[in-house]
Structures are given as structure tokens and as C-alpha cells.
Homo-oligomer: A and B are copies of this chain.
């Protein structure tokens, strides 16, 4: 019996998410991003496919590194315009019962007190189905939008994030006891003040004296996701994250990252199973190999290479427009994105060029798709799951919703036949479905703040 594979739909409220240009495909509906029914229909579709969750990426700025301005990002719809994903989730939650929701929220620019309330409200309204992808922001354009000259240095952002986490843990876990809400109509007693505490936090970055505004939500702390790949990012993940996002084309690389983060987590007293890795993947599936290849060839006709370069330039912090096709690209920009550069250099060879990069970006991004019959893709996923220990996959949007419909109609039945995919949802909250327990375990740093605010 193979390991059970979890699937998240990886999405974003914008025209071009990972695979750039596919919004121009005649079947693509992602341009309906402003239409609430596009999202409620999609939620019902994903629940029909027993997807574990939908995961929303987000950015707070615009990609303006390529060509020194946002022109090409706008032309290609490269993650712009981008609506606030947290506001889509309540509508999707109202038409589903099991689907989980991961949402990327940048903590750098939001008051922790307000952010904690927003997540608790989402956890209540979804019945305990919310997850948070913790990001600290990497775009200068976002920083300038918030009145700063530029981005905070990479490691300083993580220090700020560590303090932020302590603060929101106090609000989520420490401010209200489990039995604080009495709701006794006969006595007119809504909550017992002896069981509600103001938190008092005075740190280098934040000062908060307040009780949390929300009553205890089903999960308290949302399921915590993180995607940092730098040394400091992995240290942060090993302390806080329950799920981690990985990207990688080689099993050895992915295995090594997982082993490293789990070893760090163990050093923090956490169990290996308390960190579940999800691998980013793009699938192009057919009933047969030939059908899959045909679909791939057809999708490729709509790819935007410029769009792919716009996104890559922002991730790398290098204006790729300034280089000729075969001119060697020197790296050099600071630690913020060094790990991205390392990955690219490793994949493309030390003397990497725009041409080499473009050759990799076969479907509009550096994430090369897995193309094949449902049977073969199922074996690929099972192989990765068995050999690397990834808990599941974040499936990047291709042509929407046709790509997800292929997963549901073609791939999932095969995975189910092979015993590698659930045939019904488990009951319980998002964390219960993923980990079997409702609350963060005692060894997680959030647990320290219970009952002690």
C-alpha cells in the first residue's frame, strides 16, 4: 500500500500565476478572477476531487525588475492585477465542507493584533479550515508602497518575523481559555472574565497590550506553512512551520532539504512527522501519452517567454532584459535572493544565460511540467512520495479550470486505484485532516503561550 498523497491546488487571484501566458488560452477562465462565482465554482470542483486544499499565493508589489519597470508585468498579466486572496476564502468556504484554505500573508506590513483577528475570523468562518503561508516579503516595490525606502534586509526580516510569531501565538493560544465562552443565557453570562487575559508584549519591534478580539477558534493557530529555502529561512521553518513548500527537479535535492529541515526541527524538540513537505509541481495529463504530449504542445503555443522572464527577473533580482541571449549572467545581488540564484545557476550550469534559462521555461516558468498519461503521472507522484518523503504536491495552475479537471477526472481515479489517494474526506479541521490532532503539539513554540498570557 503506497503512502497517501495529498494535493493542493496552487493558485493566485491574478491572470498569470506560475506558468505565464496561459491566460491567453481560449479555455482559460482565470481572467474571471474578479467574479466571485468563478471561485465558488472552483471550490466545489476541488471538493469533488477531494483536494486537501487550495493554496493562495500573494504578492504586495509588482514585478518591476525586468526592464526596470512594471511594463512587461502589466502587458503579460504577470501576477498583476492581484486581488486580496483572504477575501475570496469566505465565499469558497460557504459552499464547501472539507476543502482546506492556505493563504499567503506577508506579516511585515500588518499590525499583529489586526492580523491575528483576521486569521481567527477566517478560522471561525471556515470551521477550522484555514492555513497561513508565512512570508516576510521580498519586493522593493512592496516596501515603497508602504512608505519605506526599500526592503528590510533578509535576516532582519526573519528576526522581525520571529517576534511577530511570538505575538500572534500569545493572541491565538494564550488570551482566551478553552472554556472562557460560557454563553449562558439564563445567567446572562457570555464569557468568564477570569478566563480571558490581555497579552502584554514589549519587544524590540512591537508593543501590544490587548486581549484577543476573537473567541477561541477551532484550530486557534492556523496551520502554518512556510517556503523559505535560505539558511535563515530553514531555521525559521524548523521552528514554526507545520507544512513546508519545496521546489526542485531532483529527488536527491528534495530529500536533502527535507532531511535538513527535519533535523533542525528535531533539534528544536519537534518530531519528524510534525513537518510535512509539499512539492511544487505542474501536471499536463492525458488519457494516453500521445494525448498528453498533444495537450502540452497545444498549451505551449500560449506560453509567454517574456512573462516567464519578468517573474524570474523579480525572483532573482536581476534585470534579465539587460543581457543578450548568450551573454553570461553574473550574479551578485545580496542574500535576499542568493538561494534563488544558486538554484538557477545549479540547474543551468555556472555560466548561465538567458537562452539557457528560456530553454528551461518550457511552459512559462522555471517549473518544468510533468507530462504524461494519467497512469504515468500517478506513478511519478507515487515515486516522488515514496522516495523523497514529500507528503503531497502543490499543483500549479495551468489552463484553468481544464488542468484541474484533468487531475480530478483522469489522475485521481488512477491514484485511488493504486491506493495512493483517499476516497473520502476524513472529518475534522484542516490540522486534524493533515496531522490527526486539532491543536499544535506541546513541543511547538506556540504551545508555550497557552493559559499564560
Contact = CB atoms under 8 A, between A and B. Distances in A.
Interface of A: 13, 15-16, 21, 23-26, 31, 34, 36-37, 40, 60-62, 69-71, 74-77, 80-84, 86-91, 93-95, 109-111, 113-114, 117-118, 120-122, 124-127, 141-142, 144-147, 181, 183, 185-186, 188-193, 196, 198, 206-211, 213-215, 217, 304
A198 B69 CA distance: 11
A141 B210 contact: yes
How many chain copies does the complex carry?
Answer: 2
A69 to B, nearest CB: 8
20 contacts: A15-B190, A16-B190, A21-B188, A34-B124, A34-B215, A36-B93, A61-B210, A62-B211, A80-B191, A80-B213, A81-B215, A82-B214, A83-B120, A83-B125, A87-B89, A110-B110, A144-B209, A144-B210, A145-B208, A146-B208
A192 to B, nearest CB: 7
Nearest to A146: B111
A278 to B, nearest CB: 25
Contacts of A114: 60, 84, 109-110, 146
A206 B145 CA distance: 10
A24 B113 contact: no
B91 A145 contact: no
A84 B193 contact: no
A196 B111 contact: no
Contacts of A121: 13, 83-84, 87-88
A149 B121 CA distance: 26
Q: Considering the complex of A and B, which 3 residue pairs feature the smallest CB-CB distances, nearest first?
A: A77-B190, A145-B210, A34-B124
Contacts of A145: 111, 113, 208-210
A31 B120 CA distance: 16
A21 B185 CA distance: 9
A149 to B, nearest CB: 9
Contacts of A93: 36, 91
B147 A208 contact: yes
Interface centre among A21, A88, A90, A117 (most CB of B within 10 A): A90
A191 B61 contact: no
Contact of A193 (B24, B70, B94): B70
Contacts of A208: 144-147
B193 A40 contact: no
B71 A193 contact: yes
Given A124-B83, A196-B74, A213-B82, A111 B113 contact: no
Contacts of A81: 181, 191, 213-215
Contacts of A213: 60-62, 80-83
A124 B85 CA distance: 12
A192 B76 CA distance: 10
A146 to B, nearest CB: 5
B117 A74 contact: no
Interface centre among A23, A188, A191, A206 (most CB of B within 10 A): A188
A91 B86 CA distance: 12
Contacts of A120: 83
Given A83-B121, A87-B90, 8 more contacts: A34-B215, A36-B90, A70-B211, A74-B192, A80-B191, A109-B114, A111-B146, A147-B206
B190 A23 contact: yes
B211 A87 contact: no
Nearest to A69: B193
Contacts of A141: 210
A141 to B, nearest CB: 7
A132 to B, nearest CB: 14
B60 A193 contact: no
A37 B94 contact: yes
A102 to B, nearest CB: 16
Contacts of A126: 36
A125 to B, nearest CB: 5
Interface centre among A84, A120, A189, A193 (most CB of B within 10 A): A84
A406 to B, nearest CB: 21
A242 B210 CA distance: 34
Nearest to A144: B209
